Structure 1
Amino acid sequence: MGLRDENGGFVFDSAMLQKQANLPSEFLWPQEDLVEAQEELNEPLIDLGGFKRGDEVETARAAELLSKACSEHGFFQVTNHGIDATIIQAAHNEIDTFFNLPLDKKLSLRKKPGSLNANGYSGAHAHRFQSKLPWKETYTLLHHENDPSNPNIIVDYCKSVMGEDFEHTGWICQRYCNALKELGLLITELLAISLGVDRFHYRNFFEDCVSMMRCNYYPPCQNPGLTFGTGPHCDPNSLTILHQDQVGGLEVFSNNKWKAIRPEPGALVVNIGDTFMALCNGRYKSCLHRAMVNRNLERKTIAFFLSPREDRVVRPPQELFSREEPRKYPDFTWPEFWEFSQKHYRSDVTTIDNFIKWKLSSKPSGTFTSVA
């Protein structure tokens, strides 16, 4: 049995749960979902060094690798990305600081059930779901680097909500997000080149983006074959840039098989989300992926999510649709899709299609045409 709070909600006390021989029923997943990966994805390892130097041959090579990967499954890894290893290590140290806090402190920072505010702690996403819970804890921080009214939004949040003692945590996470945002913008340039559109089209679109940092902690699990660290899902945002430790556990569903992504020292994993799939008119894929748990080892990752500013209209550039290749998605905004994805039971391969059906059914007929 797991702990319950004063409202009867499930409390993820990993220290207590790891001592139990049997997994609480809230964490059990159907056996057909738990098929193990038998091979690796072999996603490309893209060296960004030549692209950053302006080397045309290396840029063309990187764009070719990216295009092939994103057309098939939407995952690749990048090296020579320019993120200082000391910043990454400092951010991981702050993960340790936070997830080692007493349980009552973490619970005081929980996300509220039904809230669309991304900030806060979650134990097994119990604020959203009651079954098929993920075996993990998360802490999410919203990042608006270009908000002139609050350039240090993470620092202010950590001080005001977590306490003055967490100002240092705030500065570390702010620096990490600022650096990852710049990398994200650089990757959007390479994506544009690979798609044959203006190099700065997506960079300009995301310059004043909404982004957030999610710290993930996956404790050891005595029954790893019965549950997931994160269940199968697609990311609703535009781009995800993930730093994972060397434990491994990330898997992608490609060609009707689950395939593992091997951690590469110094590399960052990048994947396409649903919103960018709409921004490129479906040419690049947002792919189902999941995180496994380990019987003996804890696993920690930091995910950085890039999304459009709230009032930006998600629409592919003109070059990517025509009468021969009509538009696949109507115009929408990120807040519309974010709200839908949070109220939908799971973010999976059907989420964006279900969102489009919902959006079209709630608008007057004729507001979306599938041709140029």
Structure 2
Amino acid sequence: MMSHNIGSRDDDDDDVGADPSPVPSSLHLQHPADQSELATPWSLQSLAVHADDSPLRIPSHVPEQFLLPEHLRPTVKHDDYLIYNAHEEIPVIDMAACNLDGDVVDVTAMETVVAQVRDACLNWGFFEIINHGVEEELLSRVLRQATRFFTLPYLDKMKVVKPPGKYSGYGHATVKEGDVRPWSEGFYFTDETTTAEFAQTLWPEDNNDFVDSYSQYTEKMKHLSGRLMQIIVAGLGVNVAHFEQYTANTGGLLRWNYYPACPEPLKTFGLTAHTDFNLLTVVHLGEVGGLQIEKDGKWIAVRPHPGALAVNIGDTLQVLTNARYKSVPHRAVVNTTKSRISLVYFWVPLTSINIVPSPDLVTEDNPCKYKPFNFDAMTKMKQMYFLNTLDHFLLEE
């Protein structure tokens, strides 16, 4: 199974880093036996004080550490799917004409898929796919394991907290110390070894399905990402060799996100606006809305479709295409009544070579836009600039 060298980094921080806020010994958290899910984000629990041993409960307002300035607060609710015209519906592409093995069932239908993906990349940087070859049973299994984890008591989850500078473990996404905290929590995975260690720590007597579902899911996501990349490059009409040097023998990162219900959802974010650093991101959205993308200066709520997976372009692919395809800004919002879990797979480029545009996409009319940079430079810049990261690698005109 894939083991990616990204998992061994020892930097001071990274763009999906944890800010664990260790629990002082004077704090005592209790969870009622009938509590079926977390009441609040993990970082709020780490600040809670219960001198009378009463259980942690949902707050009546958004505490200060989660409160956004008014000009940054979301104005589009999690389920406002109809704020844009029907002809602007986010593309949903049927992948039945191909499968994970790359076999073409119908040449004409395959050409249609390539064209649809090309249009989605050009106009949205984002699309959903159905009939993608990832079994519903596997999606359900992984979702059950994520739910199993996030419903653990807070102190149990802290046993696998993500150390500073590491990619694997429990925490929440934050750019740097001092940022407004997201109304969410996450669990990050890089390889089978650390996943097995997590499972052994959390469930020493019953952890097989946790590891097996992770392994099967990431293997499927890896193959699906590679197949999607082939389709994307086919739509560009360029030499595939430039792209293959970044995708051969590479892997990915998996993150589970949990967004609890929130008493004042328009005063905070589940995850602030950002672009992804990688090639492609494939997301199982679940059934509850919350993901939003930016198009033409407007925020659009993504409607989850049963069995569909969402795909968005990352910063690396934007550079490889010389900005022909752009990394889409996106964010997560929360709501007052329903929690949400998403399963996010980040397909990461080979990290040992510089990221540069395809020569076929550099012309007199469209000169090279980016100076060469490596993956380490990208991730360090992402620490400081969660959004518009690539602006800092632009060539001077």
- With the length of structure 2 as denominator, give the TM-score of the two structures: 0.79
The CA deviation at 1:204 is 5.4
Equivalent residue, structure 1, for 2:115: 64
- Higher relative contact order by CA 8 Å / sep ≥ 6: 1 or 2? 2
User: Where does 1:239-318 land on structure 2 (aligned, <5 Å)?
Assistant: 239-318=280-359
Aligned residue type for 1:86: E
Picking from 38, 47, 56, the partner of 2:94 is: 47
CA distance in structure 1 between the partners assigned to 2:286 and 2:149 by the alignment = 17
Q: Is the 8 Å Cα contact of residues 189 and 195 (structure 2) preserved in structure 1?
A: no
Residue 158 in structure 1 maps to residue 190 in structure 2: no
Picking from 109, 120, 126, the partner of 2:169 is: 120
User: Where does 1:18-33 land on structure 2 (aligned, <5 Å)?
Assistant: 19-33=58-72
The DSSP-based 3-state class of the residue aligned with 2:325 is: coil
CA distance in structure 2 between the partners assigned to 1:288 and 1:173 by the alignment = 27
Residue 168 in structure 1 maps to residue 219 in structure 2: no
Q: Is the 8 Å Cα contact of residues 175 and 386 (structure 2) preserved in structure 1?
A: no
Picking from 175, 183, 186, the partner of 1:135 is: 183
Picking from 93, 104, 107, the partner of 2:144 is: 93
Residue 81 in structure 1 maps to residue 132 in structure 2: yes
Q: How big is each residue's C-alpha offset from its partner over 1:306-356, in whole Å with a ceiling of 9 and x where there is no partner?
A: 0112213322222111233211112222232123213x1x411x21212x2
CA distance in structure 2 between the partners assigned to 1:57 and 1:258 by the alignment = 34
Question: Percent identity, aligned pairs only?
Answer: 28
The DSSP-based 3-state class of the residue aligned with 2:272 is: strand
CA 18–31 in structure 1, closer or farther in 2 if over 3 Å, else same: farther
The CA deviation at 1:240 is 0.5
Equivalent residue, structure 2, for 1:206: 247
Picking from 34, 42, 52, the partner of 2:73 is: 34
Aligned residue type for 1:158: F
CA 118–155 in structure 1, closer or farther in 2 if over 3 Å, else same: closer
CA distance in structure 2 between the partners assigned to 1:7 and 1:319 by the alignment = 60
Equivalent residue, structure 1, for 2:222: 181
Equivalent residue, structure 2, for 1:353: 391
5+ long unaligned stretches in structure 2: 1-20, 27-41, 49-54
Equivalent residue, structure 2, for 1:223: 264
5+ long unaligned stretches in structure 1: 144-151, 358-367
Moved over 6 A (4+): 14-17
Q: How big is each residue's C-alpha offset from its partner over 1:102-154, in whole Å with a ceiling of 9 and x where there is no partner?
A: 211212322234x1x210111x44694434211111000014xxxxxxxx445
Residue 13 in structure 1 maps to residue 61 in structure 2: no
The DSSP-based 3-state class of the residue aligned with 1:12 is: helix
More strand per residue:
1
Q: Is the 8 Å Cα contact of residues 261 and 339 (structure 2) preserved in structure 1?
A: yes
CA 18–233 in structure 1, closer or farther in 2 if over 3 Å, else same: farther
- With the length of structure 1 as denominator, give the TM-score of the two structures: 0.84
Q: For this pair of structures, how many residues does the alignment match?
A: 343
Mean alpha-carbon deviation: is it higher for 152-161 or for 222-231? 152-161
Q: Is the 8 Å Cα contact of residues 159 and 201 (structure 2) preserved in structure 1?
A: no
The DSSP-based 3-state class of the residue aligned with 1:49 is: coil
CA distance in structure 1 between the partners assigned to 2:175 and 2:229 by the alignment = 33
The CA deviation at 1:49 is 1.4
Q: Is the 8 Å Cα contact of residues 158 and 170 (structure 2) preserved in structure 1?
A: yes
Aligned residue type for 2:45: D
The DSSP-based 3-state class of the residue aligned with 1:189 is: helix
Aligned residue type for 2:247: F
Aligned residue type for 2:60: A
Q: How big is each residue's C-alpha offset from its partner over 1:151-200, in whole Å with a ceiling of 9 and x where there is no partner?
A: x4454443566564434312211110011000000000010011112457
